[in-house]
Amino acid sequence: MKNSANAATASDTQREESAQPGLARDGRRNGDAGGTLATVTFIVLIAIAISLLGYMVIR
């Protein structure tokens, strides 16, 4: 009975998230796009720096 009382007082947002855990998980997963973009940008910048360094050494 204690759980039913908590469910009755829970906000709509809390009930929706608990009823559909996949949607909450997807929302968190999409938040990582900035980290992925930053990692790719960092790797590209490192590649450019190594290329320029190689060009200067050969020249």
Task: Work out the number of other CB atoms within 10 angstroms of the CB of residue 57.
Answer: 7
3-17 pLDDT, tens digit per residue, is 665 555 656 555 555
Separation between Cα atoms, residue 44 and residue 24, nearest integer Å: 32
Separation between Cα atoms, residue 45 and residue 38, nearest integer Å: 10
pTM of this structure: 0.46
3-state SS assignment for residue 10: coil
17-55 pLDDT, tens digit per residue, is 556 666 555 555 666 788 999 999 999 999 999 999 999
pLDDT of residue 7: 57
What's the token pair of residue 22?
A: 């996949």
